[in-house]
Amino acid sequence: MDEAEQTNTDRISTGIDGLDTLLYGGVPINNQTIVAGGPGSGKTLLSFQILYNNAKKGIPGAFIALEERPNSIIKNVKKTFTSFTDIDELIEKETIVVGGEDITTKVDAGSDSEAYSFGNVVSDIESIVKSNNSKCVVIDSISLMKLMLGNLLLYRKSMVALSANLRRLNVTGFLTIELPSTERTAMTFSPEFFIFDGTIVMYQSWEENKRTLNIEVIKMRGSNHSLSLSPYEITTRGFRVFSVSEL
């Protein structure tokens, strides 16, 4: 799919069949979606695969790492998705750009400098997005921003500003965030769930000493979506989200 074709539709496919089924075809273009989950749920991998699947169609994308080194992200993706043999080629062609840095280096003590440093982070994100005219963008993760900005009001205002900037850049965004609990029964709604357009949540639970993984679309502005809770697995060929008929 080239950029002209993308303009003629109102959704961007994740390229993951079962997830697109839950989303009724994909995420509305220019929506900003939270991908939430606990450690080991695969939220970073899921977001990268969405980026990768679209890059394979010719839609440029950017993966922006705010906590881990970009090289570490790529190394982990390659180790997990061994069938994704053309990642380096897509990066070399700049269909995918991978950037970012540890944002703790950008924040000094004091609320004024924190707000200023957040502006720098947004500016860096914009530079990376513009470097290849990205249309699909992953930011991994925004959890650290919450801890560093500290003040809840400042954090909320900053997230509203980030969402507006991504929309101004005409991108469809996926922003990962850590959940305090991996269990669905312990789910709580933090400010990001209300600020951003969509929320996809990845859960983990344990039954008879066996870990089970499930995914759910909580909301998606401008689009209907399935209300089902669907099991998923992470394979060397990518994510597999199961429909009810497959269980």
- Alpha carbon 234 to its chain's center: 16
Instruction: Note whether 53 and 247 are within 8 A (CB).
Output: no
- 140-164 pLDDT, tens digit per residue, is 989 888 777 777 888 899 999 999 9
**Structural domain includes residue 167:** yes
**Structural domain includes residue 243:** no
pLDDT of residue 166: 96
pLDDT of residue 152: 82
**Structural domain includes residue 16:** yes
**Structural domain includes residue 31:** yes
**Domains of the chain: total:** 1
Query: Cα–Cα distance between 133 and 94 in angstroms, integer?
Result: 10
- 159-187 pLDDT, tens digit per residue, is 999 999 999 999 999 999 998 766 666 66
Query: Cα–Cα distance between 151 and 175 in angstroms, integer?
Result: 20
| Global confidence as pTM | 0.88
pLDDT of residue 67: 85
**Structural domain includes residue 247:** no
Strands 136-140 and 61-65: parallel
Sheet holding 230-235, edge to edge: 96-100, 61-65, 136-140, 172-178, 32-37, 198-207, 210-220, 230-235, 238-241
**Structural domain includes residue 85:** yes
Instruction: Note whether 214 and 232 are within 8 A (CB).
Output: yes
Q: DSSP state, 190?
A: -
Q: Which domain does 158 fall in, by range? A: 3-238
Query: Cα–Cα distance between 247 and 242 in angstroms, integer?
Result: 7
Query: Cα–Cα distance between 48 and 68 in angstroms, integer?
Result: 14
pLDDT of residue 228: 93
- From the number of C-beta atoms within 10 Å of its C-beta (0-12, 13-18, 19+), residue 76 rates as middle
Residue 174 has phi, psi (to 5 degrees) of -130, 115
pLDDT of residue 229: 93
Residue whose token pair is 């991994």? 140
Instruction: Note whether 95 and 57 are within 8 A (CB).
Output: no
Query: Cα–Cα distance between 221 and 5 in angstroms, integer?
Result: 22
Contacts with 78 (C-beta within 8 Å, 6 or more apart), sequence order:
84, 87
Mean pLDDT for back-to-back runs of 10 residues, the chain (247 residues): 45 95 96 94 97 98 92 95 97 95 53 61 92 97 80 88 95 93 67 92 84 94 94 97 70
**Structural domain includes residue 96:** yes
Query: Cα–Cα distance between 208 and 246 in angstroms, integer?
Result: 22
What CATH number does residue 197 fall under? 3.40.50.300
**Structural domain includes residue 137:** yes
- Alpha carbon 173 to its chain's center: 7
